[in-house]
Amino acid sequence: MGSERSVTPLYPMSQTTKGDEDMQIQPPESVWKNGKMIAWKDATVHALSHGLHYGTAVFEGIRCYDTQDGPAVFRLKDHMARLHTSAKAINMAIPHTVDELCSATREVIKVNALKSCYIRPISLFGVSGIGVNPIGYPVDTFIIAFPLGAYLGQDGVKNGIRVHTSSWRRTSGSSVPATAKICGNYVNSALAVMEAKQNGFDETILLNEHGMVAEGSGENIFVVRNGSIVTPPLSAGILPGITRDSVMHLAKDMGHHVLEQNMTRAELYLAEESFFTGSAAEVTPIREIDRRPVGDGRPGPITKGLQIKYSDIITGKVSKYKLWLDVVE
Ligand code: PMP
């Protein structure tokens, strides 16, 4: 027998949908692992890692912006605090404090001479045995930073994106801690976003187990109804988004009425405006839901106003919100 093997898949995959080519990254030189800087090529995990087999890992997605004061990380401490909270939800003790993780992040940015970038911290249960119970397993933490453009595309930021309602329901909080950023939970997001792309949409909206609107595959959702800004409450089983919280703060500051309220799928169709928020997605307008135009099918004035304000805040142009920026010395 030669070494060549048949590669015909048992179940051929759809060839009609492309992957996310624009999500390809430029590898940085160094990655932070467990307190040390290591080369990109060495930033690997063992094939028998518990986190790989059973999804027992937690992560964050953070952005750093090029500001007048130098590169500055947006709400770094809040992100690292959420990493610790997510870890606690799966009985994982990350052996680095929030402050240590914040300094490590600044170091990764500095060492790789990055200005504006995306930061991906991840902690996983490593190698010990084969059992499902990870108690007592080692915990490995990596922090990886690299440049990243608009998550939902530059055209999406400007003109809005087209989304549909997923046939997958958001994983219930009665099955897993749904409000924690646990790697295993993202099979749900991956299934939903693949379905959206295969149907020609840019993103997806997941309903929760009760049929109420939850969130996108990696974003929180907002609508504008009768002039008020409405978003599902945390009890809808969503990730407590840091961008969601930021946008709620600044919307109130701008004099808008902000409500956390459950909404049905049909209520989405009545929205005057709609947008997604996320560290990667920032504020991205939604111009179509289930083939129905949102408002007149173009980003509305409230969404645009929030986009501008958010962009000013993250680039350090609003003194009141400079506290949210962690400058990399
Ligand atoms: N929901 C989900 C499922 C996510 O993965 C994300 C991205 N972290 C968000 C919402 C938005 O959260 P944040 O604003 O903190 O990035």
Determine the atom of ligand 1 nearest the C-alpha atom of 185: 3
Is position 281 within any domain?
yes
Tell me which of 98, 116, 146 is where a domain ends: 146
Looking at residue 114, its pLDDT comes to: 96
220, 245, 277, best to mutate for ligand 1 pocket (most atoms within 8 Å of CB): 220
Is position 327 within any domain?
no
What DSSP character marks residue 182?
Answer: B
Contact 303/248 with Cβ under 8 angstroms?
A: no
- For residue 136, how far is its CA from the centre of ligand 1 (angstroms)? 29
pLDDT in tens, the chain (329 residues): 445 666 676 666 665 566 666 678 889 999 999 999 999 999 999 999 999 999 999 999 999 999 999 999 999 999 999 999 999 999 999 999 999 999 999 999 999 999 999 999 999 999 999 999 999 999 999 999 999 888 888 899 999 999 999 999 999 999 999 999 999 999 999 999 999 999 999 999 999 999 999 999 999 999 999 999 999 999 999 999 999 999 999 999 999 999 999 999 999 999 999 999 999 999 999 999 999 999 999 999 999 999 999 999 999 999 999 999 999 98
Residue 290 and residue 158 share a domain: yes
284 by DSSP, 3-state: which?
A: strand
Residue 125 and residue 209 share a domain: no
Tell me which of 146, 169, 202 is where a domain ends: 146
Contact 38/28 with Cβ under 8 angstroms?
A: no
Sign of torsion, CA 52 58 64 70?
Answer: negative
Q: How many CA atoms lie within 13 A of 172 on its CB side?
A: 5
Residue 299 and residue 184 share a domain: yes
What is the residue with the minimal CA distance to atom 2 of ligand 1?
A: 218
Amino acid at the residue 207: L
Residue 114 and residue 142 share a domain: yes
Looking at residue 150, its pLDDT comes to: 81
| CATH number of the domain residue 92 falls in | 3.30.470.10
Active site positions, annotated: 181
Is position 86 within any domain?
yes
Is position 133 within any domain?
yes
Looking at residue 1, its pLDDT comes to: 46
Determine the atom of ligand 1 nearest the C-alpha atom of 243: 14
Taking the C-alpha atoms of residue 138 and residue 275, their distance in angstroms, rounded to an integer, is 40
- For residue 121, how far is its CA from the centre of ligand 1 (angstroms)? 14
Residue 218 and residue 244 share a domain: yes
Is position 59 within any domain?
yes
User: Could you give the C-alpha distances from 202 to 184, 217, 287, in angstroms and in order?
Assistant: 23, 11, 11
Is position 323 within any domain?
no
Residue 299 and residue 167 share a domain: yes
Contact 164/80 with Cβ under 8 angstroms?
A: no
Residue 252 and residue 221 share a domain: yes
- For residue 1, how far is its CA from the centre of ligand 1 (angstroms)? 49
Residue 159 and residue 221 share a domain: yes
String of DSSP letters for 36-92: EEEEGGG----TT-HHHHH--EEE--EEEEEETTEEEEETHHHHHHHHHHHHHHTT-
Is position 52 within any domain?
yes
Is position 199 within any domain?
yes
Contact 321/314 with Cβ under 8 angstroms?
A: no
| CATH number of the domain residue 283 falls in | 3.20.10.10
Residue 271 and residue 215 share a domain: yes
Residue 158 and residue 304 share a domain: yes
Residue 166 and residue 141 share a domain: no
83, 122, 188, 219, best to mutate for ligand 1 pocket (most atoms within 8 Å of CB): 219
- For residue 292, how far is its CA from the centre of ligand 1 (angstroms)? 25
Say how many domains are in the chain. 2
Residue 165 and residue 137 share a domain: no
Range of the domain at 45: 20-146
pTM: 0.95
Contact 121/97 with Cβ under 8 angstroms?
A: no
Q: Of 324, 58, 71, nearest to 186 (Cα)?
A: 58
Is 218 a pocket residue for ligand 1 (Cβ < 6 Å)?
Answer: yes
Looking at residue 151, its pLDDT comes to: 83
Taking the C-alpha atoms of residue 279 and residue 83, their distance in angstroms, rounded to an integer, is 14
Residues contacting 173, CB < 8 A, separation 6+ = 179, 237
Tell me which of 106, 121, 146 is where a domain ends: 146
